[in-house]
Amino acid sequence: MSVAIKEKRKHERKRVNIPASIKKLSGQGPAVGESSVTRDLSEGGASFVVSGFIPLSQRVVVELGLGSSSKPVKLIAKMAWVKRREAGKGNEMGFQFLDSSREDKKLLGDYIDTVK
């Protein structure tokens, strides 16, 4: 018997490999920065391979280097899930985007539209 799993995402994820920085929001614990690379990206969230650990529901600032802009796109996000990887290969973490400036939201949407 197979069970269908309902997709909860509102936006289609696209496979990308772009540089990212993940920083905890001030007042949300120690100010720790993580350099990362995206695995997939949508207007609603992204997954990253991260070397450290970020607790579930932790709010962070995600900075994405989209290449088309001279400054990184900044988004407020919440850590939604984590998948442990082999020892020494970091963790795969999924983040839900919660807020961003109108300009950064447009830059992200325009970038995603160019990804096949």
Asked if residue 67 is part of any domain, the answer here is yes
Asked if residue 7 is part of any domain, the answer here is no
Asked if residue 4 is part of any domain, the answer here is no
Q: Which CATH number belongs to the domain containing residue 71 in this structure? A: 2.40.10.220
Asked if residue 34 is part of any domain, the answer here is yes
Asked if residue 1 is part of any domain, the answer here is no
pLDDT of residue 75: 95
Which H or E element spans position 110?
helix 102-114
- Domain residue limits at 40: 14-114
Task: Kindly state the DSSP code that residue 40 receives in the 8-state scheme.
Answer: E
Asked if residue 105 is part of any domain, the answer here is yes
Which stretches of the chain drop beneath a pLDDT of 70? 1-9, 11, 26-34, 68-69
N-to-C CA span, the chain: 34
* 72 contacts: CB under 8 Å, gap ≥ 6: 21, 63, 64, 65, 66
Domain count across the chain: 1
What is the token pair recorded at 115?
Answer: 């990804």
Asked if residue 30 is part of any domain, the answer here is yes
pLDDT of residue 5: 40
pLDDT of residue 101: 95
